[in-house]
Amino acid sequence: MATDDDRSALDLLDAHLERLWYAAQARARGQEEPLPTVPESLAGSAADGGSELLRWGLAGLARLRREPADGFVRGAGDLVMEFRRRRSPWNAAALRLFEDPHVFVATGPRRHEDWGRDVFALMHRQVPDPRGWLRIDADPGDHGAGLVRPAHPFAPPPAAEVVHRVHRLEPDAAVAALTVMAEEWMTEPRPVRDRPDLDALTADARTLLARYGPEARFWTNAVAAASDPAPDFLATGLGGHAAHPFLSVEYFKGLDLFDELGVIAVGADEVGVFWSIGAF
């Protein structure tokens, strides 16, 4: 089992690799972006033994070429994604399902009986993943309490109203909803139900939801679940259901947001938010 020191070092390396990737992208666009330096504590952790994954990540970082610019972007992106895959099976499943579609995936602590408050905190990026696992953010820009739109792309209702915008889902229906989130809005050439890897995608969705425990309960903003807790998401595909809105209607950062499908997982200790977002 990983120690607290191991986890802190892995969290620090993950954050550094992400900053490096963003800096590489900025440089490829012609911007004068300084490259972040490797925190000294990471080298110290590796010298003291550290975890095998930490040593692997630092070795990959040392081999990463900064030129040409487009190769730097690809190399930094490949390194951070492979690091995250290796960190946990949960991360790997999330990336297989959601690496390409426009989604927001985040888990936070369950701190309130009224779990709408925990969902509200996640949509405002106020809490980290309790296990240090992956967050996939549809809007990865800097966020904070001082910003005008810390919740973008969401414009969530007040915390007390969250539970009134969602409906209960049976566990298998929650799995199906996550599975269809592997599709793309509007441009999907092949729905999930027709893909040869459907069983593998479904297995990944089950892996993601299993972390919330056998007694977890699931909710969705899909209107169809108001009358049926097991709507057939696979048959209708990603765009087959109307949904109660959680997204912003503002044109911001060059994107119009036009549709959504969300699933909320509520466990005894953790709350997860999975949201597929139609954007152009």
Closest CA to 103 of 230, 216, 205: 205
- Residues 177-181 have a mean pLDDT of 96
Share of the chain above pLDDT 70, in %: 91
- Report d(CA 150, CA 58) in Å as an integer: 32
Q: Residue 165: pLDDT above 50? A: yes
- Binning the chain into helix, strand and coil, the percentages to the nearest 5 are 45, 15, 40
Task: Give the pLDDT score at 84.
Answer: 94
Task: Give the pLDDT score at 154.
Answer: 92
Closest CA to 248 of 272, 275, 224: 275
Kind and range of the H or E element at 79?
helix 69-87
Lowest mean pLDDT among 57-61, 150-154, 163-167, 170-174: 150-154
Q: Residue 10: pLDDT above 60? A: yes
Task: Give the pLDDT score at 145.
Answer: 42
Which tokens sit at 121? Answer: 């905190």
Sheet order of strands, 103-109 included: 103-109, 270-279, 257-266, 217-220, 167-169
Q: Model-level pTM greater than 0.85? A: yes
Please write the tens of the pLDDT for every residue from 223-266.
999 999 999 999 998 887 899 999 988 766 667 778 999 999 99
Q: Residue 149: pLDDT above 70? A: no
Instruction: Tell the burial category of 93 from Cβ atoms under 10 Å away from its Cβ (0-12, 13-18, 19+).
Output: buried
- pLDDT band, very low/low/confident/very high, at 144 (cuts 50, 70, 90): very low
Classify 227 as helix, strand or coil.
Answer: coil
Long-range contacts of the stretch 89-96 (C-beta < 8 A, 24+): 89/207, 90/133, 90/134, 90/207, 90/208, 90/211, 91/133, 91/134, 93/203, 93/204, 93/205, 93/207, 93/208, 94/134, 94/136, 94/204, 94/208, 95/134, 95/136, 96/200, 96/201, 96/204
Please write the tens of the pLDDT for every residue from 79-103.
999 999 999 999 999 999 998 788 9
Tell me which of 121 and 3 has the higher pLDDT: 121
Task: Give the pLDDT score at 185.
Answer: 84
Q: What angle do CA 121, 127, 131 make, to 5 degrees?
A: 130
- Report d(CA 207, CA 168) in Å as an integer: 20
Task: Give the pLDDT score at 50.
Answer: 67
Please write the tens of the pLDDT for every residue from 196-213.
999 999 999 999 999 999
Please write the tens of the pLDDT for every residue from 47-81.
666 689 999 999 999 999 999 999 999 999 999 99
Average pLDDT, the chain: 90
Task: Give the pLDDT score at 3.
Answer: 67
